[in-house]
Structure 1
């Protein structure tokens, strides 16, 4: 949903537009006058809303080059079971990486990932995440799933449905979509509306190295079904295409985009954050 704010909010426009306004450093102390260039796409800032789905407000300043988009931050109300899953995965990552973060719930999970992203090489990061997933998910369960569900249309569609239900707490709400597989239509695609991990970390490198690559490898190796994860760094959505082989890293568009300017991992904002 996008709404144009008219002249009755002209004072807001003037505050955001003026880099010398005395209130600006107090409202945005971290970014100062650079609010309009906070993200990779200029003119995007993040605020918090109580809505589950973010709402965009378009503020018309009269100058197309200075139009500012204010986007709310998704709020996730995790239940007790989802919190247990978050803490379980966070603990597995910490034990595997040899790190300790004394923060619970999703914030703690993101913090340990940020620490790992800074401390280890990209190759080590992927190895740690893969081992953490093996520790977090019983190998006997994975063996049963792989044995009873060899690659097929029904298996790919089952994995898509299971993903939208089982990992909602990790990546956010998703929906099943259709794609063409070997000449016929299948409901084997999961579209994540806005990835929770990417939104919280604000780091494209963490998305590709701590989520996309190790998850693709883990699912293919343990379940026998390839999956291609296709993040959209403009709107933070993502698609999981079950049955589709992911491209080689050197050909993957996800590794050709610079990181956000407010990357929480404090890495250099260039493609060196990704590879």
Structure 2
């Protein structure tokens, strides 16, 4: 089957969870969903045990906070700890909600995880400017390596002008752990782009590379239209997708 793109609108949705039917009525706005229909075949390059992450006390606090917030938002709890707990919470969301709902769940979790006064302060101190874009890039490399893995600030050039507004993630920790294109798109890229723009006032284009699991976060740049975004056309990994394990499902439909 060919990869498809769907543009859906939030509406009333019913979710069956723990034997109960919960009716949800999110706010009305457009949500872009990547539908990835054909799995990729070659995963041999990703069969290594992965990077050995040495999380600090701050990393553990941040990971636990985000994991618990996501679990609270979805209503699905797990008993794991550390980054495994966050991956388990994200996997449960991917298995329990459709792509549109996954994006909404993450948005609500991010809004809970970051207090409004802090978001307002960041938005005030880092306006849309070269200074603001470079501050966002530096801030990301200092405070979010626990989530995305090793990263560094890179330069971009446009119209002969350069600025250090790009964060290059050598190998995304979340994608490496989940090995799921659908989870990358619906639980990271799409909701993060919306959250950073709507809550912090900064445009951002997240450009994952599904060949080597690297990613670029380009602050100050709007993402391409859904029909032109290569990430939304990428098929999922066939053999090792975390969302498919123990469940017969299409993780990105």
**TM-score category, normalised to shorter length:** 0.7 to 0.9
Mapped pair 1:77 → 2:54: yes
Structure-1 separation of matches of 2:114 and 2:183: 21
Structure-2 separation of matches of 1:236 and 1:76: 16
* 1:159 aligned to which of 109, 115, 136: 136
* 2:71 aligned to which of 86, 94, 107: 94
Higher alpha-carbon deviation: 249-258 or 178-187: 178-187
Structure-2 separation of matches of 1:224 and 1:181: 21
* DSSP-derived class of the 2:118 partner: helix
CA deviation map 1:79-117 (0-9, x unaligned): 111001000000000111111111111001001111100
Q: Cα offset for 1:149? A: 2.0
> In the TM superposition, what are the counterparts of 1:33-182 in structure 2 within 5 Å?
40-41=41-42, 43-48=44-49, 73-181=50-158
Mapped pair 1:219 → 2:188: no
Q: Is the 8 A contact 2:149 2:173 kept in 1?
A: yes
* DSSP-derived class of the 1:47 partner: coil
Gaps of 5+ in 2: 1-38
TM-score normalised by the chain length of structure 2: 0.79
* DSSP-derived class of the 2:236 partner: coil
**Greater relative contact order, per chain length (Cα 8 Å cut-off, separation 6+):** 2
Residue 264 of structure 1: aligned partner? 242
TM-score normalised by the chain length of structure 1: 0.73
Q: Cα offset for 1:125? A: 0.6
Structure-2 separation of matches of 1:42 and 1:143: 42
> In the TM superposition, what are the counterparts of 1:18-29 in structure 2 within 5 Å?
none
Query: Which entry has the higher C-alpha Rg, 1 or 2?
Result: 1
Gaps of 5+ in 1: 1-37, 49-72
